[in-house]
Amino acid sequence: LGTGLGHLGLLVKPARHIDYHDIDGFPDEARPMAGHSFQAAVGTIDDVPVVVYPGRIHLYQGYSAMEITSLVRHAHHLGCRDIIFACATGSVPGNASTGLGILTDQINLTGRNPLAEWDEIREVETPFVGMTDAYTPYLRTLARGVADDLGITVEEGVFAGVMGPCFEPPAEVAMLRGMDVSYTGFSTALEVILAHALGMNVLGMTLASNESGDPKMSHQSVLEAAERHADDFERLVRGVLRLL
């Protein structure tokens, strides 16, 4: 779960909690940013077994691709085969609006890739992994159907993962628009790569809290937007979970 979206973890009827620092590969010195929590909840939501990770670390904090994707490896080790990534993003003007979105594909502009360190990932046989349909088509269709049934406005589009932490200047926004990118953010791209390489079914959902390039954008505005959309986000995720 991304910035400001960790409240979903409060829905879990927990069997146990796991401190992130007890997860293999997660950095001992990491501390959560505002809007994140570093305690995974294992249990159920509406009687569906889940593991919820209500926060993440980022490249811009100085962590490696392997450290960032340690939670994905942990989820796979626990037996998870369907994984939902939620992230706060900026919408690219002209290609998407602010609000909730379903990710259809991605462009990794971070310059990093967890598969470049593939010899440390026992479950991955080769780093040469095709990325077609990395965002699993049937899960995207499932989420779209749930949104339509519940009357929740949801757009769809391509996600661009960037390093951060500064927000995009106008020239970068223009570049992203020309690349048919709808959403851009500081997370998710590396996690999706590893989840797909591990054979997991991936659903990417975003809250576009601001337009990219908006001079008024701040970390606080992201948190405030997440709060405004919290109810629809919760209803959408719970609807998807019931159908898995």
Cβ contact 81:51 at 8 Å: no
CA–centroid distance for 92 within its chain: 17
Q: How many CB atoms lie within 10 A of CB 155?
A: 18
- In whole angstroms, give the CA distance from residue 167 to residue 180: 19
Spatial contact of 195 and 133, defined as CB atoms under 8 Å apart: no
**Average pLDDT along the chain, 244 residues, taken 10 residues at a time:** 74 91 95 82 94 94 95 96 94 94 98 86 87 97 97 97 92 97 96 97 93 76 73 91 92
Amino acid, single-letter form, for residue 35: G
pLDDT for res 229: 76
